[in-house]
Structure 1
């Protein structure tokens, strides 16, 4: 019985030591310290992310600010410059030559088709064919004017002055070739009319000579 009392006392003493307030306090402080360390680590990550975000925003703002103040790079300045048209290009003599050639194409084909219609020496099929040739030629020449407008319009094409002048020369040559073709075509048609007039005149002369009604 006495031994049992001793064992009970010993157990109570051990429990008292293990669950006393100082030991519990130390355990609680250790747990709180771990929590604080974890929170500190999370705070550092948050601050790091905030710094990254600020850097990105700051870089974007500086880029916009540079653009608004005209601090463009050389590459951007060069490309934007190609959108402009210099006075030398606008005043290039070939520009006026192209417009003059286009006016000649329109006036000459209109005058010729009227003469062919009034002559009475061409049938409907021939007049229709001539009209189709004129229509295609006119449409292609108008395409040249559209190309010329693009070359001379600021903000339309990125081209150097040399490239613009070269394009104008090409447009002039093509327009001139179309005008040359039109004049050759009209000359051939007019020659055909003269031949038919001559044939009719010869026929009438023969009839008068032999008094054929």
Structure 2
């Protein structure tokens, strides 16, 4: 069961790391972004399947063992009881902070995109929607990890999952910060270039 949930969390948070010079080639920006989005959608679908498998697995164990399952009931119950010290760990507070910061960053970047033509920021808006969806999933997973009766994990497994989540959220936040900053710069440059072309046409009497 521990292995299944580690797999689920890994699938959810293994986002594509930004390659060196990702924004240096303007012609490949949109293509690369769409590849990231497509891969993220695959990860999310795998996450849903993994979650379903994990839940069905618990039920299957109960159905198969039936009579003697109660012999191990105390053990499974203890695994589903979250150690209060785990709930109070700094990693939990850090995860919540990253979740809040990511949602704020998405909101701020969406407001910036409002200054540009819709056709210029469609890919950026789509990316923000995926980030928000990913954060929403992380909220549910965090709740399961720190709520009694949800997941059957030992303390070390629970702490390991929380640590992985914190690292992936930190990576996502850093990349989204960079993406928001540099994508706005690119759109500003494009807008300036288009304005210069329009001005040159006017000066030369061109339509």
TM-score by length of 1: 0.55
- Which of 152, 155, 158 does residue 158 from structure 1 map onto? 152
Please tell me whether the aligned partners of residues 141 and 178 of structure 1 are also in contact (alpha carbons under 8 angstroms): no
Residue 179 of structure 1 pairs with residue 176 of structure 2: no
Counterpart residue number, 1:89: 86
Please tell me whether the aligned partners of residues 151 and 164 of structure 1 are also in contact (alpha carbons under 8 angstroms): yes
Residue 107 of structure 1 pairs with residue 104 of structure 2: yes
Cα deviation, 1:4-36, whole Å, max 9, x if unaligned, reads xxxxxxxxxxxxxxxxxxxxxxxxxxxxxxxxx
Report matched runs for 1:132-147 at 5 Å.
132-147=126-141
Cα deviation, 1:37-95, whole Å, max 9, x if unaligned, reads xxxxxxxxxxxxxxxxxxxxxxxxxxxxxxxxxxx96x543322111111110001011
Report matched runs for 1:1-213 at 5 Å.
75-118=72-115, 120=116, 122=117, 124-196=118-190, 198-199=192-193
Tell me the number of residue pairs that the alignment of Structure 1 and Structure 2 aligns: 137
Please tell me whether the aligned partners of residues 82 and 160 of structure 1 are also in contact (alpha carbons under 8 angstroms): yes
Aligned with 2:114: secondary structure?
A: helix
C-alpha RMSD of matched pairs (Å): 2.8
Distance in 1 (alpha carbons) for counterparts of 2:163 and 2:87: 13
Deviating more after overlay: 188-197 vs 87-96 = 188-197
Distance in 2 (alpha carbons) for counterparts of 1:148 and 1:165: 11
Distance in 1 (alpha carbons) for counterparts of 2:131 and 2:175: 9
Aligned with 1:84: secondary structure?
A: coil
Counterpart residue number, 1:68: none
Which consecutive unaligned segments of at least 5 residues does structure 1 have?
1-71
TM-score by length of 2: 0.57
Cα deviation, residue 184, structure 1 = 1.7
